[in-house]
């Protein structure tokens, strides 16, 4: 329970019996939140006592804080308070800041001195150029003595040497001051990093009947945490093994140590209410308003999932060691314990799992499912000669599998990546298991004719295709072949099927034809398909392809 709408009388001067950083003993993770449990075990004397538990993350939901436990005590109330930390008043910090300001002023003085010296350098350079021209004319006419020109040149050179030396000294001072400023900044940053951040605390008021041990469990909800599903789908012969993983991430500000971790499928929401239907009105559609065309933006996806790295067996090896391992059973996989609720399930992994607060993903095995599968192959030669291996699988387990990405393996080989939709118990699902290059498909255009429209006549196009499917898998298979006829959306365009051998097993109103062909080992099947398209006079055909 938690105090609502009231102020603590001890808000200004708080008398706290114990200020305890209680350890985290359990975490229940939801898809977008988490419930954390901290446990306090303390021997308390009789009387009214106050126990402060924290620090807790700033992002906790204060209304979610609850207290339970054991012992000779009664919970009188729970408050959540915020401790704000003031800026450090350490004398070292003040001295560093004063030193930083003095060094900055010294750096400004160096810049000013350099500006003066650069102006002097420019003046001397300009003076030398003009004097050199005047002395050259004087020496040529005899108006100037050579000794005067030599004396002026010596004086100007000495002045310029002095200016350049002063500039070099300023550069050395600038470098030294910059290093000292950087060192002061680093020390200030270190001291600032040691400053304790603001934090929330749960303050529990207790009435202790008799002195003795009291155990308190303080639970609270936090955001910036959640879990998602990930799968390994492994085809072994004609059977499918689905390994379900729970991937947990959190950025709550507190690390979760190895503790009792539970994954819940319950979807938490801020406000729960029964939906109500409002009137559904129909109105005439107003005339469209012209809008400027906007350039569409493409959407990028993540790169393909890399294949897992597998260490190669060491070469050689003692024959006796090989014989010793020949009959050993494969390793088992620990699975989570499931607790079914009214609308959700809770999965408890077999081992404690630590989850850091930096967003690093922690993975726990939830379940390993062995499912029977019906395998076939699917190809659409009109689009691609690729042949896809497909599995039709029924979820015969008692688990409702949430949506997630799946890595597909054939035995030990990683072959592709696919997505799994929500999969309920007893539900049938189609899974794409990657390409199978052992089934070869070739589609070729065997006939093409076209006539030109004449006065009062229509134009005709006619094509025929032959598709050959070869089975080189080493066993009989069934291949589903998809092809299509064009579909007319105008009375002036007519489409007629002229050839279909063998007849397709399924047709749709959108022109999709489906053949399901059983093909023996090392055998081939051929499909022939032809159609004719006629267009009326003056009609240009759009969308035609061969």
Final residue in a domain of this structure, among 222, 238, 271: 222
> Is the same domain home to 401 and 450?
no
446-494 per-position pLDDT tens digit: 999 987 755 557 788 899 999 999 999 888 999 999 999 999 888 888 8
Contacts of 248 (CB under 8 A, 6+ apart): 29, 225, 226, 227, 261, 263, 353, 355, 361, 362, 363, 364
| Confidence (pLDDT) at 290 | 61
Tell me the residue range of the domain where 166 lies: 91-193
Q: What is the mean pLDDT of the chain?
A: 80
The Cα 324–Cα 138 span in angstroms is: 109
DSSP state of 216: E
Same domain, yes or no: 413 and 485:
no
Residue 277 lies in a domain: no
> Taking residues 421-441, what's their average pLDDT?
90
pLDDT score at 230? 92
Contact predicate 62/174, CB 8 Å: no
Number of domains, the chain:
4
Question: What tokens does 205 get?
Answer: 């008021």
The C-alpha atoms of residue 429 and residue 233 are separated, in whole angstroms, by 13
Residue 445 belongs to some domain of the structure? yes
Identify whether residues 387 and 238 lie together within a single domain: yes
**Could you read off the pLDDT of 51-109 as tens digits, one per residue?**
888 788 888 888 889 999 899 998 888 888 887 665 555 667 778 888 888 988 888 88
Higher pLDDT pick, 205 / 537: 205
- Asked if pLDDT for residue 148 goes beyond 90, the answer is no
Return the minimum-mean-pLDDT range out of 43-47, 52-56, 243-247, 374-378.
52-56
pLDDT at 309 over 90: no
- Picking from 150-154, 328-332, 362-366, 404-408, which range would have the lowest pLDDT averaged per residue? 328-332
pTM for the model stands at 0.58
Please, what's the b/e burial string for 323-355 (b: 16 or more CB within 10 A of its CB; e: otherwise)? eeeeeeeeeeeebbeeeeeeeebbbbbeeebeb
362 and 429: one domain? yes
**201, β-bridge pairs:** 81
Co-location of 124 and 189 in the same domain: yes
- 518 occurs within a structural domain: yes
pLDDT tens digits for range 370-427: 998 888 899 999 999 999 998 899 999 888 888 999 999 988 888 888 888 889 899 9
Regarding whether 125 and 31 lie in a shared domain, the answer is: no
> Locate tokens 């012969």: which residue?
237
Q: Are residues 55 and 189 in the same domain?
A: no
Domain-ending residue, one of 193, 213, 240: 193
Within this chain, do residues 104 and 54 fall inside the same structural domain, yes or no? no
Strands (E), 223-319: 225-236, 239-250, 256-264
Residue 425 near residue 473 (C-beta atoms within 8 A)? no
For position 73, which CATH number holds? 2.60.40
Q: In terms of domains, do 417 and 457 share one?
A: no
DSSP-derived letter for residue 405 is E
Whether omega before 394 lies within 30 degrees of 0, making that bond cis, reads: no
């Amino acid at each position: 329970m938690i105090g609502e709408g009231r102020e603590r009388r001890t808000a200004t001067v708080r008398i706290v019996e114990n200020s305890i950083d209680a350890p985290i003993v359990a975490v229940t993770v939801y898809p977008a939140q988490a419930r954390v449990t901290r446990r306090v075990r303390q021997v308390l004397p009789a009387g009214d006592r106050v126990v402060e538990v924290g620090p807790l993350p700033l992002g906790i939901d204060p209304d979610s804080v609850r207290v339970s436990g054991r012992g000779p005590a009664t919970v009188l109330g729970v408050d959540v308070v915020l401790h704000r930390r003031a800026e450090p008043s350490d004398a070292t910090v003040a001295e560093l800041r004063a030193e930083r300001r003095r060094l900055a002023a010294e750096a400004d003085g160096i810049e000013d001195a350099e500006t003066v010296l650069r102006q002097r350098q420019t003046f001397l350079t300009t003076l030398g150029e003009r004097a050199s021209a005047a002395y050259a004319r004087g020496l040529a006419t005899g108006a100037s003595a050579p000794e005067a020109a030599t004396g002026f040149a010596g004086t100007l050179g000495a002045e310029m040497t002095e200016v350049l030396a002063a500039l070099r000294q300023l550069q050395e001072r600038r470098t030294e001051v910059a290093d000292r400023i950087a060192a002061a900044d680093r020390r200030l940053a270190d001291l600032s990093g040691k400053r304790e951040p603001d934090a929330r605390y749960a303050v529990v008021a207790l009435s202790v009947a008799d002195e003795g041990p009291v155990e308190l469990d303080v639970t609270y909800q936090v955001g910036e945490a959640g879990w998602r599903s990930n799968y390994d789908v492994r085809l072994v012969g004609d059977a499918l093994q689905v390994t379900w993983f729970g991937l947990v991430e959190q950025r709550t500000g507190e690390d979760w140590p190895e503790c009792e971790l539970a994954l819940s499928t319950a979807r938490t929401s801020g406000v729960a209410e029964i939906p109500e239907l409002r009137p559904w009105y129909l109105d005439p559609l107003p005339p469209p308003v012209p809008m400027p065309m906007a350039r569409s933006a493409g959407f990028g996806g993540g790169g393909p999932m890399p294949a897992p790295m597998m260490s190669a067996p060491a070469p050689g090896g003692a024959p006796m060691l090989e014989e010793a391992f020949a009959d050993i059973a494969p390793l088992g996989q620990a699975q989570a314990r499931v607790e079914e609720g009214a609308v959700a399930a809770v999965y408890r992994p077999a081992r404690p799992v630590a989850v850091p607060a930096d967003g690093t993903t922690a993975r726990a095995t939830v379940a390993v499912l062995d499912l029977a599968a019906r395998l076939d192959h699917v190809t659409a030669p009109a689009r691609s000669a690729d042949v896809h291996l497909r599995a039709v699988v029924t979820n015969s387990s008692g688990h409702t599998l949430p949506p997630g990405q799946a890595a597909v393996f054939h035995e030990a080989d990683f072959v592709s990546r696919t997505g799994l939709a929500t999969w309920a118990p007893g539900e049938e699902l189609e899974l794409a298991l990657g390409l199978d290059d052992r089934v070869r498909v070739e589609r070729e255009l065997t006939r093409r004719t076209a006539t030109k429209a004449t006065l009062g006549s229509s134009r005709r196009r006619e094509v025929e295709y032959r598709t050959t499917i070869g089975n080189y898998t080493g066993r009989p298979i069934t291949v589903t072949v998809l092809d299509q006829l064009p579909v007319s959306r105008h009375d002036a365009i007519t489409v007629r099927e002229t050839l279909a051998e063998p007849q397709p097993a399924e047709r749709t109103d959108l022109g999709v034809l489906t053949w399901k062909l059983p093909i023996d080992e090392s055998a081939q099947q051929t499909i022939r398909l032809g159609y004719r398209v006629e267009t009326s006079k003056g009609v240009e055909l759009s969308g035609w392809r061969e």
